[in-house]
Structure 1
Amino acid sequence: MPTPTKGPRLGGSPTHERMMLNNLAAQLFEHKQIKTTVTKAKRLRPVAERMITNAKKGDLAARRRVLGQISDKSIVHELFTSIAETMAERPGGYTRITKIGPRPGDNAPMAVIELVLEPYSPKQATVKEAEQATAAAAAPAEETPVEAEVVDEAPAEDAAVEADAVEADAETAEESSEAAEEK
């Protein structure tokens, strides 16, 4: 168990602080994000991430450990089924804290702490994708002049066909005007 923090605690006694953080963690897992003070969010982050790490293990001992902290079985079930599956590939950093403006009543600094539910892509995969994209961009660049020549020929043929069509229309118009003059 981690050493209690020195100095003033969030709720007075260490037991009250631990219970408050467990309740905040339960609300975080239920609603996927909560708005609280920056201090509580910073203290909540390791508690919530430890619970998610236990949920990723998925065994009975881990479930009992989390049930010792969160008494609501439906939230624990959601944590072990949906949240743990979402975080399976992520090695850590399951939560994100975003600071927002101060609270109107007492001007306390507020923050939103939320679960990071976006799919995880490791840096190596990102680098490989970037290299593949660069290679793919370079390969069509080599082929583009060939395609450009083909594309250049096609409009020339189309222009010739269009010119013939314009001449045929002009001839048809002349014939119709001559026929109208004869009448």
Structure 2
Amino acid sequence: MRHARSGKKLGRDSAHRKALYSNLAGALIEHGRIKTTVTKAKAVKPIAEQMITLGRRGDLHARRQATAFLRSRDVVHKLFAEVAPRFTDRPGGYSRIIRIGPRPGDAAEMVYLELVDEEYVATQREERTPAPVVVEEVVEPDEEVIVDEPAAEAAPADDEAEADPAEPAAEAEGDEPAADDAPKA
């Protein structure tokens, strides 16, 4: 039974799997980015991040632990001298997986496993409960009632009385201007 067993076997026995993890983690530290399958990347990512954490510690015991796993003094030197100092302020999350599509031949999903390059900026964590949003009520203005007073306008002169009823009639008919309103040259 495999109760409480985590991790993928990757079709290899334990020694072969351990060698694969060591080689992939070493290649990631040495080159900064490797191209591999999704399953292998997900399996080696926590191991590579653990090696970077050892590099951040920087003591002799951490160097010996990294050498025991990576089995290459050159890679361990690069880990402690170049890679780990880049991540001194970052509390984990040193790498990322970027999908690049299927591999020609067997259509295995391929990814780039790469170290994060940009500088980490420590920020304050936001509160989980946001401030209540105040909703303003939109008050629509009442429609203005236009009252026509034709009796008051008709009183001054008969000519203006005849011209005034033509203007509201032209406005009611549509947007076309009346012939009387056109400017004369």
TM-score category (smaller protein): 0.5 to 0.7
* Partner deviation per Cα, 1:28-47 (whole Å, 9 max, x = no partner): 01110000000000001110
The count of corresponding residues between Structure 1 and Structure 2 is 123
Displacement after TM superposition at 1:4 (Å): 5.7
Determine the structure 2 residue equivalent to 1:104.
Answer: 104
Matches within 5 A, 1:33-52: 33-52=33-52
Displacement after TM superposition at 1:52 (Å): 0.5
Q: Distance in 2 between matches of 1:50 and 1:113?
A: 15
CA distance change for structure 1 residues 11 and 61 in 2, over 3 Å: closer, same or farther? farther
Displacement after TM superposition at 1:63 (Å): 0.3
Q: Distance in 2 between matches of 1:73 and 1:117?
A: 24
- Confirm or deny: 8 A CA contact 1:56 1:85 kept in the other structure: yes
Instruction: Name which one, 1 or 2, has greater alpha-carbon Rg.
Output: 2
Q: Distance in 2 between matches of 1:34 and 1:25?
A: 9
Determine the structure 1 residue equivalent to 2:24.
Answer: 24
Scaled by the length of structure 2, the TM-score of the pair is 0.63
Determine the structure 1 residue equivalent to 2:119.
Answer: 119
CA RMSD of aligned residues (A): 1.9
* Partner deviation per Cα, 1:81-102 (whole Å, 9 max, x = no partner): 1111000000000001001110
Determine the structure 2 residue equivalent to 1:64.
Answer: 64
- Give unpaired runs (5+ residues) of structure 1: 126-183
Q: Distance in 2 between matches of 1:38 and 1:84?
A: 25
- Give unpaired runs (5+ residues) of structure 2: 126-185
Determine the structure 2 residue equivalent to 1:5.
Answer: 6
Report whether the alignment pairs 1:54 with 2:75. Answer: no
Residue type of the alignment partner of 1:5: S
Determine the structure 2 residue equivalent to 1:89.
Answer: 89
Displacement after TM superposition at 1:117 (Å): 2.1
Judging by fraction of residues, say which structure has more helix.
Answer: 1
Determine the structure 1 residue equivalent to 2:159.
Answer: none
Identity in percent: 47
Q: Distance in 2 between matches of 1:66 and 1:89?
A: 20
Residue type of the alignment partner of 1:121: V
* Partner deviation per Cα, 1:7-64 (whole Å, 9 max, x = no partner): x612421121111011000000111000000000000111000100111000000000
Displacement after TM superposition at 1:65 (Å): 0.2
Q: Distance in 1 between matches of 2:5 and 2:120?
A: 32
Matches within 5 A, 1:93-172: 93-124=93-124
Residue type of the alignment partner of 1:110: M
Displacement after TM superposition at 1:108 (Å): 0.2
Q: Distance in 2 between matches of 1:88 and 1:82?
A: 11
- Confirm or deny: 8 A CA contact 1:45 1:95 kept in the other structure: yes
- Confirm or deny: 8 A CA contact 1:11 1:20 kept in the other structure: no
